[in-house]
Structures are given as structure tokens and as C-alpha cells.
């Protein structure tokens, strides 16, 4: 146990901003390396590093000095990363489930089933393997674009026919076309 660590923690707990800055300067580089390796994204690592230090500030009272302050912060950072990654995995799973449900709903009883090309189905399934949320989002966005284009092709360019094939309200499909930047593509 280092008395310097305990003194630094005590000064931080007393509200000494300079002490917390010192703590940050001493440990931010190592913690940034950890969260960057865990997330694979500089942007996510920066956000998560701030979260780790906010959490550390709240938890300084639980530091007992049984290990070094650096070890304690590293473990705290590791736990925050694991929590973050578990949450990201749950969100990606929900988005995948939502996309799969939308595809299943694409066949409406009493209508001609919409046939998805095999490569599009592969794109949708491969989107689950995306390494980051932004790549996953891009893959899902592209899959949505291709499903809508295919629905328009199969309905002879009819907005109402595409909405029916996708089991979507026409107004929602109109908004989705705008959001996905498909207006000019579908008018041609």
C-alpha cells in the first residue's frame, strides 16, 4: 500500500480539484489504452474514459489501499468496459431481432410474397457479425435500403404496393424513404 495513493485519494475526497487532475494525469494514458483495446474505437474510448473517471470519483470512498491506486482504477475501468460491451451486445441483439421481425412481416397474408434476393439475406445475417455499433448500423441501413428498393421493384414502382408488401403504413414508408435517402433513387 502506497501512502502517496492514500493521500491523493484523501485530497480528492476533500474536493481538491488539483488532486483529481493529478490522479487523471497519472492514470488516463493507461486507462485509455485499456478502453481503446476493449472497444476498438477512439471515439468510444474517449467517452468511456470519461465515464470511468466519473465513476472513480464517485467510488473513491471505497478505495481501501489494499492494492495500488493504479490497479484499483484499472480494475474499475475493466469492469466499466465489460458493462459497456454487454450493453452494446444487448442493443445489437435487439436491433437484429427487430430487423428479422420486419423481414418476417414483409409477407402479408393475401398479398404476393416479397422475395428477397439471397445476397440481401446474407447481408442482413452478416450485419450481426459487425465489430462496432456504427458498422452494424451501416449494415442494417443498407439492408433496409435494399429491402425497400426490392419492394418497389416487385410492386412496379407503386408506393402503395411497396407499403403493402412491407406491411408498413404508407406514411411511415414515405418517412423511411426520406430518412434512408432513397427519394431520388425510387423516382428514376
**Residue 41 DSSP class:** -
Quick one: pLDDT band at residue 107, thresholds 50, 70, 90? very low
Whole-structure pTM value:
0.49
Contacts of 30 (CB under 8 A, 6+ apart): 70, 74
Which residue is associated with the grid cell 488516463?
28
Q: What is the mean pLDDT of residues 102-108?
A: 49
Where are the strands (E) in the chain, listed by range?
none
User: Band of the pLDDT at 29, cuts 50, 70, 90?
Assistant: very high
Per residue, what are the HEC states of 92-105?
A: HHHHHHHHHHHHHC
Q: What is residue 116's DSSP assignment?
A: P
- 50 or 141, which is more confident? 50
CA atoms within 13 A on the CB side of 108: 12
In the predicted model, is pLDDT for residue 72 greater than 80? Answer: yes
> Average pLDDT, stretch 84-99?
65
Q: Which residues belong to CATH 1.10.1740.10 in the chain?
A: 3-88
Residue 32, pLDDT score: 92
Query: Under CATH, which number does the domain 3-88 receive?
Result: 1.10.1740.10
Contact assessment for residue 44 and residue 38, using Cβ atoms and an 8 Å cutoff: no
pLDDT digits (tens, 9 = 90+) for 124-182: 555 555 556 666 667 777 777 888 888 888 888 888 888 887 777 888 888 888 888 88
pLDDT of the residue at 54: 92
Question: What CA–CA distance (Å, rounded) separates 87 from 130?
Answer: 15
99: pLDDT strictly greater than 60: no
Nearest one of 118, 182, 108 to 144, comparing CA atoms: 182
Amino acid at each position: 500500500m502506497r501512502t502517496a495513493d492514500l493521500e491523493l485519494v484523501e485530497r480528492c475526497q476533500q474536493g481538491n480539484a488539483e488532486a483529481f487532475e493529478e490522479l487523471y494525469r497519472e492514470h488516463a494514458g493507461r486507462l485509455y489504452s485499456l478502453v481503446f483495446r476493449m472497444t476498438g474505437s477512439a471515439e468510444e474510448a474517449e467517452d468511456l474514459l470519461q465515464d470511468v473517471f466519473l465513476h472513480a470519483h464517485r467510488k473513491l470512498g471505497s478505495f481501501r489501499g489494499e492494492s495500488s491506486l493504479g490497479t484499483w482504477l484499472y480494475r474499475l475501468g475493466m469492469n466499466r468496459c465489460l458493462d459497456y460491451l454487454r450493453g452494446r451486445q444487448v442493443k445489437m441483439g435487439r436491433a437484429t431481432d427487430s430487423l428479422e421481425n420486419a423481414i418476417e412481416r414483409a409477407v402479408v397474408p393475401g398479398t404476393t410474397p416479397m422475395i428477397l434476393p439471397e445476397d440481401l439475406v446474407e447481408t442482413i445475417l452478416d450485419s450481426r457479425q459487425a465489430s462496432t455499433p456504427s458498422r452494424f448500423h451501416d449494415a442494417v441501413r443498407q439492408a433496409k435500403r435494399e429491402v425497400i428498393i426490392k419492394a418497389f421493384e416487385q410492386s412496379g414502382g407503386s408506393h402503395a404496393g411497396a407499403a403493402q408488401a412491407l406491411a408498413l403504413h404508407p406514411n411511415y414508408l414515405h418517412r423511411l424513404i426520406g430518412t434512408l435517402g432513397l427519394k431520388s433513387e425510387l423516382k428514376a
